[in-house]
Amino acid sequence: MPTLQILLRVIISVTLATGILAGAGPSASASSVSEAATWLLEPAKQQLTNNKTKQKQSAVRQNKKNTNPKQNRKKPKKTTRSGKRNIKQGNKRREDMSWVHMQQKYPGTFVMSGSRDMRSVSLTFDDAPDPRVTPDILDTLSRYHIRATFFIVGDRAAKHPELVKRIMREGHVIGNHSYNHAVLSKLAPAQFQQQIWKTDGIIKRIVGVSPRLVRPPYGEMKPHQIAWGKQNGFTVVNWDVDSEDWRNNPSSARVLANIKKTLQPGSIILQHAGGGDKQDLSGTIHALPLLIEMLQGKGYDIVTLPELLGRKAYR
Ligand SMILES: [Zn+2]
């Protein structure tokens, strides 16, 4: 998609989000407006926040890339006219580096994958519950007798407790995905902790458990927040396989192709069981049976995150 079109989508979404929240009454604070804006259009969020910085950084990286022929060979996809590919690759590499660093600094507390020695993988679904998407995902998992891990957003759980109960009843594992999909890394300690505890309380009230697993929205968490998580018995779980089902409403074929790119033993696969108003997750829904059959065809065991990581699901 051309950059201009993305920019337009962002502007429209932000305007919409601001408008909706302004209509919601005086309780809508400035910070919740920006959270809602990012929530509405997750894929566009990064471009919205610091597009300029990233363009600068990606230009620097591109220069470095050109002087390194080995690296050029590794990345088959060339620069697009808009330069979007550069920005995406740049982001991904920087995230990977910092995640690897955090994994080393907090072993067992910040994880992106399970053991590479076992032929097991985990399906994880973020942004649940969402009545438009989650039931279809659950139906398919049930048909194949597969158990997965759902990362729950607190305010959504409060609205759709019956769906949270169904997730639990059907043998899946529940994790904490913040209260209202905030960018946790930008929050002060008290606000950050409130995002976790508030969701913890809601989940406990609905299904009687306190999740050990936390996945920060956008995978973003600061080292000191991970340290807090460790002290309080949480495990922060990101992923090493991104289906990118949140980006531009992809087809099921695209979702599958994205997953195959980095799939390996021990992989944690990121998908979504809910989204913003503009998001169409039918690609995820239609890809799921094919994904399960592909994984089983390759001899993978599909297990829940606690099984993959060898730890308890709840505190
Ligand atoms: Zn999310």
Of 255, 299, 315, 264, the closest CA to residue 112 belongs to 264
Out of 70, 96, 122, a domain closes at: 96
User: Do 274 and 146 have their domain in common?
Assistant: yes
- Residue 314 within any structural domain of the chain: no
57 Cβ contact partners less than 8 Å away, ≥ 6 residues apart: 90, 94
- Residue 199 within any structural domain of the chain: yes
Question: What is the percent of the chain where pLDDT is above 90?
Answer: 68
Cα–Cα dist 73/105, whole Å: 31
Cα–Cα dist 148/303, whole Å: 7
pLDDT value at 89 more than 60? no
Res 96: pLDDT: 45
pLDDT value at 126 more than 50? yes
Cα–Cα dist 241/258, whole Å: 8
Greater model confidence, 18 or 290: 290
Q: Model confidence at 98, in pLDDT bands (50, 70, 90)?
A: confident
Cα–Cα dist 20/69, whole Å: 49
Burial 88-117 (b: 16+ CB within 10 A, else e): bbbeeeebeeebeebbeebeebbbbbbeee
Strand partners, 213: 235
User: Which chain residues have CB less than 5 Å from ligand 1, an ion?
Assistant: 126-127, 217
Between the CA of 264 and the centroid of ligand 1 the distance, in Å, is: 23
Cα–Cα dist 101/28, whole Å: 36
Between the CA of 40 and the centroid of ligand 1 the distance, in Å, is: 11
Question: Which one of the listed residues 126, 130, 240, 245 is annotated catalytic?
Answer: 126
Of 193, 226, 211, the closest CA to residue 109 belongs to 226
Q: What is the pLDDT of residues 38-70, one digit of tens each?
A: 443 343 333 333 343 444 444 444 443 333 333
pLDDT value at 311 more than 50? yes
CATH number at residue 125: 3.20.20.370
Res 249: pLDDT: 94
Kindly report which listed range (13-17, 21-25, 96-100, 158-162) carries the lowest average pLDDT score.
21-25
Q: Taking a C-beta distance cutoff of 8 angstroms, is the pair 128, 160 a contact?
A: no
Specify the number of domains making up the chain: 2
To the question of pTM greater than 0.85 for the whole model, the response is no
Res 108: pLDDT: 95
- Asked about 160 being catalytic, the answer comes back as no
Res 145: pLDDT: 98
- Asked about 242 being catalytic, the answer comes back as no
Query: Mean pLDDT throughout 194-221?
Result: 98
Question: Which one of the listed residues 160, 172, 181, 272 is annotated catalytic?
Answer: 272
Range of the domain at 158: 106-309
Strand partners, 125: 150, 271
User: Do 182 and 69 have their domain in common?
Assistant: no
